[in-house]
Amino acid sequence: MEDISLYILDLVQNSVAAGATLIEISITEDIQNDRLILSIKDNGRGMDSQTVKRVTDPFYTTRTTRRVGLGLSLVEAAAQACNGGVYIFSQPGKGTEVRVEFEYHHIDRPPLGSMEQTLVTLVACNPTIDFVYTHTTPVGRVYFDSREVRQKLGELPINHPEVIEWIKEYIKEGIDEISGGGGA
């Protein structure tokens, strides 16, 4: 994976597969403490503590097409290489939160990449799932909530091409405004 926005796109697929209807993605650029923190929180079916222990093992997967699962193990390797790690909180029936931490200024930390492209891909492909995106830097905060968008749209589907274009621009403008406090 080239950048963090692609890791996020990949991790959110787990939430989609877990039957989530609401997925909250947050990025915190905590420059003061030299941390970059990602969180993906869903209301999907969740996991028991046994499963949580095994999910970052590349030889554990719930898929039936083959015997390896790389998503979480790749992120863990990337995070550990930057003095960080992956922390998973989950309970059956209550959903899952995956938290990933990196040392912000670590030389091996992947760049953030294009979060607007990741979000647009998610919304366009999963029009029945709601997404909340919060991105905080020392300069400010971007907040996007697809439920607000839906409310304005009424009967128009959220994956209408013009709406998708609007979402992309909205998020991109927001991120541009809060960038520059340390350079992601």
40-75 in b/e form (b: 16+ CB < 10 A) is: bbbbbebbeeeeeeebbeeeebeeeeeeebebbbbb
Name which of 68 and 91 has its Cβ closer to other proteins: 68
Find the shortest distance in angstroms from Cβ 124 to other proteins. Answer: 6
Question: What is the contact surface with other proteins in residues (CB under 8 A)?
Answer: 1, 6, 9-10, 13, 17, 63, 65, 69-71, 74, 117-118, 120-121, 124-126, 148-149, 152-157, 160-166, 169-170, 173
Q: Are strands 130-137 and 140-145 parallel, antiparallel or unpaired?
A: antiparallel
Find the shortest distance in angstroms from Cβ 94 to other proteins. Answer: 24
Q: Report yes or no: 124 and 116 within 8 Å, Cβ to Cβ.
A: no
Find the shortest distance in angstroms from Cβ 59 to other proteins. Answer: 14
Name which of 106 and 172 has its Cβ closer to other proteins: 172
Containing 131, the helix (H) or strand (E) segment is strand 130-137
Find the shortest distance in angstroms from Cβ 17 to other proteins. Answer: 7
Q: Report yes or no: 26 and 38 within 8 Å, Cβ to Cβ.
A: yes
Tell me if residue 109 falls in helix, strand or coil. Answer: coil
Name which of 14 and 43 has its Cβ closer to other proteins: 14
Find the shortest distance in angstroms from Cβ 53 to other proteins. Answer: 20
Dihedral sign, Cα of residue 117, residue 122, residue 127, residue 128 = negative
Name which of 11 and 47 has its Cβ closer to other proteins: 11
Name which of 125 and 139 has its Cβ closer to other proteins: 125
